[in-house]
Amino acid sequence: MRKVIVLSALLLITGMSVYAQEDYSKSLKTTTTIVENADKYKVETNRFWSNWFVTAGGGGLIFFGDHNMQMKFGDRLSPALDIGFGKWFTPGIGIRFMYSGLTIKGATQNGSHSTGKVYDASQWLDEQKFDFMNIHGDVLFNASNLLCGYNEKRFWSVTPYVGLGWILTWESPRARNFNASIGLINSFRLSSAFDLNLDVRGTATKDEFDGERGGRKEEGLLSVTVGVTYKFPRRTWGRSTVKTITFSDEELRLMREQLKAMNDENNRLKDELATSNKVTERVVETKAFAFRKKEGALSSALLLFYLALRLFLAAPYLVTFQISRYALSNEARVNIGFQAKIMKENKNAVYTIIGYADKGTGTKEFNQFLSKARAEAVYNCLVNEFGVPASQLKITYEGGVDNMFYDDPRVSRAVITVIK
């Protein structure tokens, strides 16, 4: 009879404990906080097909040749055309590929590109006119964003640039020369997609480009064009964010207290069963928390409860990083500190720290290095800063991965810590 009473009490307490655990699990709440970085100089870079643009403009140019000082300014002016496309890699740095050209006007003494009209007989000068084109690539520096921070609604932006190209004329005498250019773009925002541009550019090339070698080392062009730029979607830049997931300390404390009370009660009942002559064959195995086959259902319930509670207390932790970075922010360190507290209270648990990188940016080799460095940063913080025993930790890394959560690449630039 005593055996029946003791077993009934153990079953009742276990059932109540499992019910209480389920009730706590349902009521446990987490808080997710996403904080946008307020630093106007820090943004998230975009994928390769973002921040592209096309541009076109028209205006005038003036040629600096061997006899330009012998001509009137107005006689040297000719039309200019610019057509190009490019991409911004950051709000401050981009590239552009462009066709520039139309017509050059000047004067010649040897008849190169002569129109047949005499310009100044006293100096043996004929009028000169020929078509040309300049294919060039430019590196753009948005000084407004670099110096004042990113502002997608800024009305006026100043962008200096430098470039190299290939300038040629197909009229006899032909010329094909390298050239270097420097310029300044003044951009005025018309809408989120369109800008009005004023582009001033100087270009230098070899002396014989106009078909006549004189006393100059170089010849050059000065052009001024007004045009429009269209920016393809995605055309803006997102602010970097830090995502923090926290658990209620009070609810975790209550769960740990409940677990301790259940352990104490279970040990008391096991001791009472062990001292009873009539229940010798049904003693609870202390290390495995399991009865023999006749009490298998009760043993399974206890084991499942402990496994569920262990998994609950060791819920995965996520720490995110800025793109191409593996340094921990202060927000991440705070989150890791909460994690370290639970780790040290579960001394028998072994945690795996898994590093990831965003597959959409960077090479395969760099992402492999980056995911490893991120995992090591979390490991070092747990061991050196918060005193978690190294024996409780393992490190692994996955390299570049596809978007793991909500189709958002920022959440894949992360480290996840789990029990394995």
* Cβ–Cβ < 8 Å for 248, 29: yes
Radius of gyration for the alpha carbons in the chain, expressed in angstroms and rounded: 37
In this structure, the answer to whether residues 214 and 114 fall within a common structural domain is yes
Question: pLDDT band at residue 71, thresholds of 50, 70 and 90?
Answer: confident
269 found inside a domain: yes
Are residues 310 and 214 part of one domain? no
Task: Provide the residue range defining the domain that includes 69.
Answer: 52-231
- Identify whether 400 is part of a domain: yes
**CATH code of the domain in which 326 resides:** 3.30.1330.60
Query: In the chain, what's the furthest Cα-to-Cα distance?
Result: 136
CA angle 254, 259, 262 (to 5 degrees): 125
Tell which residue, 115, 25, 74, 70, has the closest CA to residue 312.
25
What is the distance between the alpha carbons of residues 231 and 170, in angstroms, rounded to a whole number?
A: 33
* Residue 89 resides in a domain: yes
pTM comes to 0.52
| Cα separation, 340 vs 119, whole angstroms | 86
- pLDDT at residue 305, as a whole number: 56
Is 46 a domain residue? no
Domain boundary among 175, 197, 231: 231
Domain stops at, among 195, 211, 231: 231
Write down which residue in 207, 231, 255 finishes a domain.
Answer: 231
3-state SS string over 119-157?
A: EEHHHCEEEEEEEEEEEEEEEEECHHHHHHCCCCCCCEE
On the question of pLDDT at 314 being above 60, the answer is no
Return the higher-pLDDT residue of 250 and 92. 92
Q: How many CB atoms lie within 10 A of CB 47?
A: 11
Confidence of residue 141 (pLDDT cuts 50, 70, 90): very high
Residues 248 and 268 placed together within one structural domain of the fold: yes
Average pLDDT value for residue range 75-103: 95
Are 65 and 176 members of one domain? Answer: yes
Is there a contact between 210 and 113 (Cβ–Cβ < 8 Å)? Answer: yes
Mean pLDDT of 57-74: 88
How many helices (H) and strands (E) would you count in the chain?
Answer: 7, 15
Number of structural domains (the chain) is 2
Q: What CATH number is given to the structural domain containing 121?
A: 2.40.160.20
Residue 254: the pLDDT is 76
Tell whether 61 is covered by a domain.
yes
Mean local confidence (pLDDT), 152-179: 94
Same domain, residue pair 35 and 64: no
Q: 36 falls in which pLDDT band (50, 70, 90)?
A: low
What's the pLDDT at 284? 43
Q: What average pLDDT does range 75-89 have in this prediction?
A: 95
CA torsion through residues 282, 288, 289, 290, sign = negative
pLDDT of the residue at 346: 84
Shared domain for 212 and 316, answered yes or no, is no
- Examine residue 45 and state whether it is found in any structural domain, yes or no: no
Looking at the predicted structure, is the pLDDT value of residue 240 above 80? Answer: no
